[in-house]
Amino acid sequence: MIDIKDLHKSYKTGATSLHVLKGINFNVKEGELVSIMGSSGSGKSTLLNILGMLDEADAGSYHLDNVPIKNLNEKIAAQYRNKFLGFIFQSFNLINYKTALDNVAMPLYYQGVSRGERLDRSMAYLEKVGLAPWARHLPNELSGGQKQRVAIARALASDPKVLLADEPTGALDTKTSYEVMDLIQGINDEGKTILVVTHEDDIAHMTKRIVNLKDGVIIDDSFVKQVRAKDHV
């Protein structure tokens, strides 16, 4: 599903250049649940931005569902992003003046889905994440965990091939974090390919494989022997 070969990325500020990704190689197969770990500054967000087609590498190749992701114009990149990827963020990124239901339905509007289908589909995904009773509420009436569930429903509603989650539990307390990871595990059990960026070891052990980044290189890439469940973290 994801195939990355010898990826390099540098940031240039003035006369200096910071080499952040120094030859990343990895593959993610359909249906995997993988975490990308590493300390602050190791390059996790840089890698995720490239995977999410929000930025491009300087060198190396990236194939997403066998499609080469390179030199795409804005319009094509946006189309691919809609088709292939769903995003989940640490800070939820919900629109505060729209209800939970309208937040989930929003991307479908931009994809030209009719109003009736948008609302039906969004309601079904809110049900899936356990939030149907909260459909008419605004984000500020929801807890952090509930907000993240809305964001997950929004990411799923377009049925992307891959979910990219950037520190999805970063703003949540421990118990709520495990509940959100439990939901992510359930979505993965249904076949969705999911990548989770985290710097928390317990969260990473709720995924099936941990890729460890340090100073822009992968220092370890291993399957988790015993994937932890929410009540046994």
Ligand X SMILES: Nc1ncnc2c1ncn2[C@@H]1O[C@H](COP(=O)(O)OP(=O)(O)OP(=O)(O)O)[C@@H](O)[C@H]1O
Which residues contact ligand X (rule: CB under 6 A)?
A: 11, 13, 18, 20, 38, 40-46, 199
- Token readout for 15 is 């006369």
Give 46 or 148: the residue with its C-beta nearer to ligand X. Answer: 46
Least distance from C-beta 83 to ligand X, angstroms? 25
CA distance to 28, 131, 157, 194, 205, per residue, from 122 (Å): 28, 11, 6, 20, 30
**3-class SS at 166?**
strand
Q: How far apart are CA 184 and CA 175, in angstroms?
A: 14
Give 47 or 180: the residue with its C-beta nearer to ligand X. Answer: 47
154 with 202: CB under 8 angstroms? no
**3-class SS at 184?**
helix
Give 18 or 67: the residue with its C-beta nearer to ligand X. Answer: 18
Least distance from C-beta 18 to ligand X, angstroms? 6
Give 38 or 160: the residue with its C-beta nearer to ligand X. Answer: 38
Q: How far apart are CA 73 and CA 53, in angstroms?
A: 11
DSSP at 232: G
Give 93 or 114: the residue with its C-beta nearer to ligand X. Answer: 93
The string of DSSP letters for 119-142 reads: HHHHHHHHHHTT-GGGTTS-GGGS
Least distance from C-beta 195 to ligand X, angstroms? 13
Least distance from C-beta 161 to ligand X, angstroms? 23
Least distance from C-beta 222 to ligand X, angstroms? 19
